[in-house]
Amino acid sequence: MSRATKRKHVVRELLEERVQPAEGQSVVRVLGTPGNNLHEVETAEGTRFLASMPPRFRRHIWIKRGDFLLVDPILEGSKVKAEISLVLLPPHVRSLQRQGLW
């Protein structure tokens, strides 16, 4: 699969996916990017930790400060405590607010 084709599929999946947080997932806000595909994030309670970006998003999706993410917890991590499962775009945020999950 070429790079352009892979990017097309990743972006289409991101745009068409319906957001319904699973058990254990949480919504976090990005505070910064220290490097090596790691992002410093903060939960609604104020807890700060690092979240890793999975290989399928690398080079295809860009995350900047202030974006919202849906993350899965990593239990064995000491510094990196979550893995990004979805980047929440404004339509995703609006649908979560309408559902009362925000």
Q: Where are the domains of the chain?
A: 3-99
- Please check the confidence at residue 16 and state whether its pLDDT lies above 70: no
Q: If you average pLDDT over residues 36-62, what whole number do you get?
A: 92
* Calpha distance 21→25 (Å, rounded): 6
- Are 19 and 95 within 8 A, CB to CB? yes
Residue that wins the pLDDT comparison between 72 and 19 = 72
Strands 80-88, 68-73: pairing is: antiparallel
- pLDDT attached to residue 25: 93
Model confidence at 69, pLDDT cuts 50, 70, 90, reads very high
Q: 3-99 has which fold?
A: OB fold (Dihydrolipoamide Acetyltransferase, E2P) (2.40.50)
Owner of token pair 């490097």 = 35
DSSP annotation string for 16-42? HPPP---TT-EEEEEEEEEETTEEEEE
Chain mean pLDDT for the chain: 87
Q: Are 38 and 50 in contact (CB under 8 A)?
A: yes
